[in-house]
Amino acid sequence: MVYEFAVEPELLSRWDQFRYIVEKFDVAQGRLISRFPKEWTKMVYDSLADCKDVEKAKIEESLRRIDHRLLNTIRTYNPDGPTWLENAEVSHSQKPFRAILARDNPKGSVEVIDGRALDESSALWNISDPSEVPRSASHIAAALGPFIKMGDALILIDPHVRLYERRYSNSVAALFDASRRADGSFPKRLELHIGFDPDDERGPGLDWLVEKCEQYLPRIVPAGAGLKLRILTQRKDGKKLHNRYLLTDIGAIKVDPGLDEGEDGERFELIRLSQEHYRNLWTDYASEQPSYDCIKEISIIRKPDPNR
């Protein structure tokens, strides 16, 4: 779905190359630049010493506007002795990047590709559109797990989720569990947004729905995590509360036809969304001024499993 790439800072020391490479990265394209090391942006600045003033100014201005193309990551980096490329190769052996973009490849490493001659036919560089996956909890969690571990927020949005139905609870639980990172931690913000229509005479009443949510919600919260469930209603003449999304603090995926499991042969379609669409969704659901009314909020915290 979305992959982490290491990019040698010196590759971006010319405006034409900077623009060409950086524009290939964002969630919608399935690529993010690793902040490797955490001083990566400063290292790009430092590489501009020989740039002409106009070119340097363009790169510096662009660097201030590419946060949505970067991925914060915790990786070991030794600034004393090894080159950036040598550090990247060591880090790759511990936790693989999709690929390492560099100026040279003295060891002939398979994972290192020439950042000055990117080729869409390269298996490591080419990121195809997400394939459809079987509509089961295990398959959607496997497909989205690497992406949802990257951020520090995970918000599942499906107005039609009913936790008392196993077809929903299985996949929702699997996705939250898949957000557990290698060190056992979870994103700081875990939320599930579902819908309620007070005008639907055939639907469940609010009190009954809240009772069921309070009963079944603890079953989908992973041990060691805290989860907030928000029951939303659509405002009169407001945005329609309908589509299903997986929203993080770095990007968003549209899940069609919904988060529930299906019959054999049915499939999930997972669609990476543009930065503009993502920003609108964040405003609608995750900002301090959302587009929907929250009529009930339920919070659950599960203690860590002592056996893990």
pLDDT digits (tens, 9 = 90+) for 168-182: 999 999 999 999 998
Report the candidate in 130, 129, 105 with the shortest Cα–Cα distance to residue 115: 105
User: CB of 13 within 8 A of CB of 22?
Assistant: no
User: CB of 235 within 8 A of CB of 293?
Assistant: yes
Tell whether domain 133-301 is in CATH 3.30.870. yes
Please tell me the distance from the alpha carbon of residue 188 to that of residue 226, in angstroms, as a whole number.
Answer: 8
CATH 3.40.50 domain extents, the chain: 3-114
pLDDT digits (tens, 9 = 90+) for 119-131: 888 899 999 877 7
CATH 3.30.870 domain extents, the chain: 133-301
Contacts for 63 with CB less than 8 Å, ≥ 6 apart: 41, 44, 45
CA 138 to chain CA mean position, Å: 18
Taking the CA atoms of 177, 179, 185 and 189 in sequence, report the sign of the dihedral they define.
Answer: negative
Taking the whole predicted model, whether its pTM rises above 0.85 is answered as yes
What is the full per-residue pLDDT of the chain (308 aa) written as tens digits?
Answer: 899 999 999 999 999 999 999 999 999 999 999 999 999 999 999 999 999 999 999 999 999 999 999 999 989 999 997 999 999 999 999 999 999 999 999 999 999 999 999 988 889 999 987 779 999 999 999 999 999 999 999 999 999 999 999 999 999 999 999 999 988 999 999 999 999 999 998 888 999 999 999 999 999 999 999 999 999 999 999 999 999 999 999 999 999 999 999 999 999 999 999 999 999 999 999 999 999 999 999 999 998 877 76
User: CB of 231 within 8 A of CB of 296?
Assistant: yes
CATH T-level topology, domain 3-114: Rossmann fold (3.40.50)
Alpha-carbon torsion, ordered 109, 114, 115, 117, to 10 deg: -160
User: CB of 257 within 8 A of CB of 168?
Assistant: no
